[in-house]
Every structure is written in structure tokens, then in C-alpha cells.
Amino acid sequence: MTSALINLAVEEKSQAVTDWAARIGWVVGLLLFIALLYWLMREGWKWRGTLQGDLPELPAAPATAAEPRLTMAGRYHGSTTAGQWLDRIVARGLGTRSRAELTLTDQGVAVVRPGAQDFFIPADRVRGARLDKGIAGKVLTEGGLLVITWEHGDRQIDSGFRSDRAAEHPAWVEALTRPHHPNHDMEGAR
């Protein structure tokens, strides 16, 4: 019996030792690969901004604001060339997603973005509004995105917004696609 135990003890092998040098090499290689991909994406973003450098400065809201017709709190998801929902515009901060507060007045749409550049869409530059399901980098359910089409410089731009309360979107589309008459009561659309 003791010889059987001795034979059994001789036949057992110890566990293989982990090759730490190889593992560390793989981890370092993977981290370098991820860093390279991040750097390439960042350079692509900067290059896109350079190509769109002819975009004029964004309009600022008038110093004296008119009476608000509609307000909305939500998110700004980005801007694209009108009709080309994947052609993102990154120049002048339009590529920066952020929280946003929109205010519609007779003068236009004021977009206040904490942590990003605010901008103003003058009323005479608004070309339309619609409900859509996507804009570059963001796809939602049908009608989940308010897209305002406006003219800036020589470009038509689609800017995408999502309200914290999506039920507000149709009132915005209606208000932006038909002219406002001072005697029209917009209180019900708020």
C-alpha cells in the first residue's frame, strides 16, 4: 500500500506557473492598441472641425429677449448637414452633446447649453422642424427627436434635440413650421 502511495505522489505534477511576462506584454499591447484607436478618433474629429472651419461664428441671443412662447429642457444631440443625418458638424462646438434649455420667442430659438457654447437660431433663419428618429450618433424611437432645420452662413443645418418630456415635441414642430401671429394663444402649447 505504501508503494502505491509513493507511486501516486511521484505521478502528481505541480500546477503550471503563470508566465507573468507574457501576460503583462499582452495587457500592455492591448492598452497601446486602445490608445492608438482613441488617438485616431480624436485626430479624425479635429480634422472634421478643420474641414468645417468656414462655418461662421454662431449667433448669440439678443441682449433683450422677447416674451417666451415655448420652453423646453432636455438634451442637445448634435447638428448635421440638412438632409444628411450622418454628416455631423463639429465646428464651432456644434458637435458637443450636452444638456440644453431651449426658449422660443418671436426673435428665434435660444439654445443654452451648460458646459458647451450657447447659440441662437434667428427666426428668419429657421427653415422648418420635424420629428425624427435619428441624427449622427443618436438613434431613438420614431418621433423621439425634435430636429430644427436652419440656415447658417451658406449651409442648411439640422440640429437635434430631445426634451425631457417628449410629449412637448409636437408643439415645437407646430410653432416652428407656421408663422406666429401675436393674437394666437400659445399658452396651451406650453
Provide DSSP, 148-170: EEEEETTEEEEEEEEESSGGGHH
C-alpha span between 146 and 142 (Å, rounded)? 11
pLDDT, position 190? 39
> Quick check: 60 and 112 in contact, CB under 8 A?
no
pLDDT, position 42? 87
C-alpha span between 173 and 147 (Å, rounded)? 9
Q: Give the predicted TM-score (pTM) of the model.
A: 0.72
pLDDT, position 46? 81
Amino acid at 1: M
- Ranges in the chain, pLDDT < 70: 1-15, 179-190
pLDDT, position 180? 56
Assigned CATH topology for domain 70-189 = PH-domain like (2.30.29)
pLDDT, position 185? 43
C-alpha span between 143 and 138 (Å, rounded)? 13
pLDDT, position 137? 77
By CB atoms closer than 10 A (0-12, 13-18, 19+), residue 121 is buried
pLDDT, position 49? 74
Angle at 51 between CA 35 and CA 160, to 5 degrees: 85
pLDDT, position 3? 63
DSSP-assigned beta bridge partners for residue 116: none
